[in-house]
Amino acid sequence: MKLSDKQLESLSNLLVNISTAWFVAGLVTLWFTHQQFSEIMILDGLASFGFSYLFLSVSWLLYK
C-alpha cells in the first residue's frame, strides 16, 4: 500500500505526538512525583526514553 505525501506527513505528526507523550509520561513525571528512589524509576525512565526515541526516529524516517 502506497501512502500519499499528505498521509505520510499526518502519520509522522502522529508519531511525534506519541513520542512526546512517552517523554512526558515517563521522564517528566519522575521529576514531579514524590517517591523513594528505586530501580523501577530507572527502568521507567530508560523505557520511556527508549520509546520516545524510537517513535521520533520512525517519524523522522517517514518525514524525509
**What type of residue is 13?**
N
pTM for the full predicted model = 0.80
Cell of 38: 528505586
pLDDT number for residue 15: 94
Which carries the bigger pLDDT value, residue 37 or residue 7?
Answer: 7
Q: Distance between CA 21 and CA 28 in Å, rounded?
A: 10
Q: What is the pLDDT of residue 58?
A: 94
pLDDT one-digit tens code per residue, 9-57: 999 999 999 999 998 888 788 778 777 777 888 888 899 999 999 999 9
CB 37 within 8 A of CB 59: no
Q: Domain containing 33: what range?
A: 5-63
Number of domains in the chain: 1
Tell me the H-state helices in 1-64: 5-23, 29-32, 39-63
